[in-house]
């Protein structure tokens, strides 16, 4: 899978399906998470987000993959945060503010990343709290967005940031 992304760096469909597949593989599977990280999956996912910043579907599946990689895994979370994911996800929220699917996945990812004070401060500093509040306003009738946005906002607000 990683070879396909490397062979076709300009193909949006490869990025989309590649990120989707990585998210599926990482979901609640620690062995797969380790293999994905060792195969430079984090770098590939973030590269897809950068290269395809205007593609809402790539952003959605990239954020889903990143969330699945960091869920219950502090080591992977540190690697992803160090790679700049917080700024990138907040930027994707702002660029795709009208897309409920993107907002839902990014709110879920930010909520998962907001597990320590350093990340919470980074999310707030990057404009994450404002972007989440905007998602709530823009998608007031979307239960999925509201659930994940309120969860993330609750964590950020409880920390005092």
Q: Give pLDDT, residue 34.
A: 94
Q: Give pLDDT, residue 152.
A: 95
Within 13 A of 101's CA, how many CA atoms are on the CB side?
9
Q: Give pLDDT, residue 9.
A: 58
Distance from C-alpha of 72 to C-alpha of 138, rounded to nearest angstrom: 30
Domain of 43 in residue numbering reads as: 2-158
The structural domain count of the chain equals 1
Averaged pLDDT in 10-residue chunks for the chain of 161 residues: 55 84 94 94 91 94 94 90 94 97 96 91 95 97 97 86 58
Q: CATH number, domain at 18? A: 1.25.10.10
């Amino acid at each position: 899978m990683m070879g396909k992304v490397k062979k076709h760096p300009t193909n949006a469909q490869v990025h989309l399906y590649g990120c989707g597949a990585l998210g599926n593989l990482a979901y609640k599977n620690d062995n797969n998470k380790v293999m994905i990280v060792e195969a430079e999956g984090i770098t590939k996912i973030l590269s897809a987000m950068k290269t395809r910043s205007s593609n809402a579907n790539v952003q959605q599946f990239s954020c889903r993959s990143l969330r699945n990689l960091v869920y219950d895994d502090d080591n992977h979370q540190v690697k992803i945060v160090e790679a700049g994911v917080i700024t990138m996800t907040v930027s994707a929220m702002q660029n795709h503010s009208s897309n409920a699917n993107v907002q839902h996945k990014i709110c879920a990812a930010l909520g998962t990343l907001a597990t320590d004070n350093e990340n919470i401060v980074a999310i707030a500093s990057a404009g994450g709290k404002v972007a989440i509040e905007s998602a709530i306003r823009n998608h007031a009738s979307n239960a999925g967005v509201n659930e994940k946005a309120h969860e993330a906002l609750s964590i950020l607000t409880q920390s005092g940031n």
